[in-house]
Amino acid sequence: MAKRIGEIEEQLLVSLHDLVFVDVEYLEKYIFVHEDGKSYSRYWISRQMKDFEEEGYIKSFSLVIKSNLSGRGRLVYTLDTKGVQEVKEILGEADWDARWTQRTPSYVYHSLQMSHIQAAFASQKDDLFTFKEYFSERRAFRNYGEMTKDKQGKDRQSSTTVIRPDGAFVLERTVNDQKAQFLFFVELERSRQRIDVTLNKIRRYNEYARKKTFENDPIFGDCIKIVRVLFVSNNDTERNQLLENAKKADSREIEKIGGALLFATYDDVIANPYGAIWKAKNSTDPDKLYSLYKRIE
């Protein structure tokens, strides 16, 4: 019997389209969840995914993580041909290239971590703001450079005026019938990232803020008031070193619009995404922790 495509199945396929890779832990947190917030059993999830795979909607493979001393792999899911076709029916189009699924293990693992960050913000609640939308890396990509014409008369933008976050999301709050939206870019940092890479990223985000190209963005929305950049590290040591490196960069244009550069660890983001877990570059107290939208002092 053909698999019935209901609301949960649609959410699964769209999530795979946006994120490219997900694992069972993501499915438990964000997709296969009862109305009371409890996850379906792993056995039930496994059966659903196996049926989906047999019908050609998805495919799976085992990802072996270096840190896993037992050598056991993590089962990873991605879209297959029929799944891409179904996404086209759901969204009206599908931005998909099968080559994206042929990635190195470290890239896949990095993508899985980003999927869990998305799930943490989307599934947990905040007292003041609501989670509006998540944007994958390819949707969050922006070129803030001036449009020029080449010799053939075609529009061109410089490759040096690009921001390419690992993801982005928008939080929204309504006060006196007025919407206020915060845009957050997420940078999931590698453990061996060089200081010049960090400084170049911040320089581009600062220029993006200076040009105010976030205003009336057709993708992010027309109510963005504040832009903040979230740097997520593997542990406290790497977070603190990244923060020290960032202090060498100019971020005044970001700060002028109430933005900030914020730094936290991956484990803290997963456990308490809306909590006071973030250190801020422009804080007068280097050890003070802030929530996502807290005013930096």
Which residue has better confidence, 175 or 263? 263
Tell me how far apart the alpha carbons of residues 136 and 100 are, in angstroms, rounded to a whole number: 13
Mean pLDDT of 69-95: 87
Tell me how far apart the alpha carbons of residues 228 and 282 are, in angstroms, rounded to a whole number: 12
Show the beta-strand stretches assigned E in 28-154: 58-64, 73-79, 130-136, 142-143, 148-149
Please report the pLDDT score of residue 149 as a whole number. Answer: 64
Domain boundaries, the chain: 1-105, 124-297
pLDDT band at 296; cut points 50, 70, 90: very high
Mean pLDDT of 203-228: 92
CA distances from 170 to 15, 59, 133, 173 (A): 17, 30, 6, 10
Q: DSSP class of residue 28?
A: I
Please report the pLDDT score of residue 216 as a whole number. Answer: 80
pLDDT for residue 153 is more than 90:
no
Tell me how far apart the alpha carbons of residues 76 and 108 are, in angstroms, rounded to a whole number: 9
pLDDT over 70, % of the chain = 93
pLDDT for residue 60 is more than 90:
yes
Mean pLDDT of 201-229: 92
> Around 187, how many Cα atoms within 13 Å sit in the side-chain half-sphere?
24
| Pair 49, 83: CB distance under 8 Å | no
pLDDT for residue 177 is more than 50:
yes
pLDDT for residue 181 is more than 90:
yes
Whole-prediction pTM: 0.92
Mean pLDDT of 63-73: 60
- Bridge-based pairing of strands 260-265 and 224-233 is parallel
Tell me what the pLDDT averaged over the chain comes to: 91
Region at 177 (left for phi over 0; alpha for psi -120 to 50; beta for the rest): left
CA distances from 248 to 212, 245, 252 (A): 23, 6, 12
3-state secondary structure at position 261: strand
Which residue has better confidence, 151 or 51? 51
CATH code for residues 1-105: 1.10.10.10
Identity at 15, one-letter amino acid code: S
Mean pLDDT of 274-288: 96
Please give the helix or strand (H or E) that residue 216 lies within, else none: none
**Phi, psi dihedral angles at 210 (to 5 degrees):** -60, -40
Tell me how far apart the alpha carbons of residues 221 and 67 are, in angstroms, rounded to a whole number: 40
Which residue has better confidence, 297 or 145? 297
pLDDT band at 73; cut points 50, 70, 90: confident
Mean pLDDT of 68-75: 61
pLDDT for residue 91 is more than 70:
yes
